[in-house]
Amino acid sequence: MKLTLDEINHILFLSQVATDNNKLHMLREIIQCLVYIVKANGEIEVPDEVGAHVKEIIARIEAELRDDAERLKEIHRNLDQFGRRSPFG
């Protein structure tokens, strides 16, 4: 099956509407559609400015995930320190 540029642009339009209306469940579905499209193509040519912006977004996401992982490790260390028991009971 081939998707036309109009169909892909419609998916992008829907992603903007979902974003503007804070519809996270819809965004997950839209991301899945975009993942299928990207996997089918394997490689996509984008303008340098777009590529740079994508790299910035990826760097921010990776940094946030690393921070979250560090916080979880700290929580686990603190729980281990207290024998994984609740200090309140």
Q: Using one digit for the tens of pLDDT, what is the confidence trace for 17-75?
A: 999 999 989 989 999 988 888 888 877 788 899 889 989 989 999 999 999 999 999 98
37/31 Cα distance (integer angstroms): 10
| CA angle (32 as vertex; 17, 1 as ends), nearest 5 | 100
88 pLDDT higher than 80? no
**Res 87: pLDDT:** 58
Q: Does residue 5 have a pLDDT over 70? A: yes
Q: Please give the residue that has the higher pLDDT: either 4 or 85.
A: 4
pLDDT at 83 over 80: no
Q: Which amino acid is at 4?
A: T
Instruction: Read off the pTM.
Output: 0.61
